[in-house]
A and B are shown apart, each in its own frame.
Chain A
Amino acid sequence: MRGERMTEIHGATGAYAVDALEADELAAFEAHRAVCPTCSREVAEFCETAPKLSVLAGAPPPPLALRTAILTSLADIPQLPPLHGDVQQTRPHLVDELALRRSSRRVRALSVLVAAVSVLALALGGTVYSLARQQAPAAGASADTSLLAAPDARIVPLQLANGAQVSFVVSKSQNRALFVGGDLPSPGLGKTYELWTMHDQAVTPDNLVAGGSDVSQWFHGPISRSTGVAVSIEDAGGSARPTAVQGYVGI
Chain B
Amino acid sequence: MTLYAVPSGPGDTSRPSGAPDATDVRQSEAAVLVELVLSSASGDQDAFADLYDRTSGRVYGIVWRVLRSTDHAAEVTQEVYTEVWRQASRYEPAKGSVLAWIATMAHRRAVDRVRSVTRQVARDDHYAVSGTGREVDHVWEGVEQRLDAQRVRKGLESLTPIQREALTLAYFGGLTQTEIAARLQLPLGTVKTRIRDGLIRLRDALGVEA
Contacts and interface: CB of A to CB of B under 8 A. Distances in A.
Contacts of B185: none
Nearest to A23: B176
Interface residues of B, number: 99
Nearest to B191: A15
Secondary structure at the B interface, as helix, strand, loop or mixed, is helix
A225 to B, nearest CB: 23
A78 to B, nearest CB: 7
B70 A79 contact: no
A56 B149 contact: yes
A202 interface: no
A62 B67 CA distance: 14
B50 to A, nearest CB: 11
Interface in A53-95: 53-63, 65-67, 69-71, 73-75, 77-83, 87-88, 90-95
A58 B90 contact: no
Contact of A18 (B82, B145, B156, B167): B167
Contact of A61 (B31, B95, B139): B139
Contact of B90 (A20, A50, A80): A80
Given A14-B195, A55-B149, A87-B38, A49 B171 contact: no
Interface string B148-180: 110011011000000000011011101111101
A194 to B, nearest CB: 14
Nearest to B138: A58
Contacts of A213: 112
Given A67-B52, A90-B94, A104 B133 contact: no
B62 A57 contact: yes
Contacts of B126: none
B52 A15 contact: no
Contacts of A90: 92-94
A48 B210 contact: yes
A8 B155 CA distance: 26
A93 B149 CA distance: 26
Nearest to A98: B94
Nearest to A94: B30
Nearest to B81: A70
13 contacts: A18-B199, A19-B108, A47-B103, A49-B206, A57-B64, A60-B70, A67-B56, A79-B41, A88-B38, A95-B210, A102-B100, A103-B101, A211-B112
Interface of A: 8, 11-15, 17-22, 44-63, 65-67, 69-71, 73-75, 77-83, 87-88, 90-96, 99-105, 186, 189, 210-213
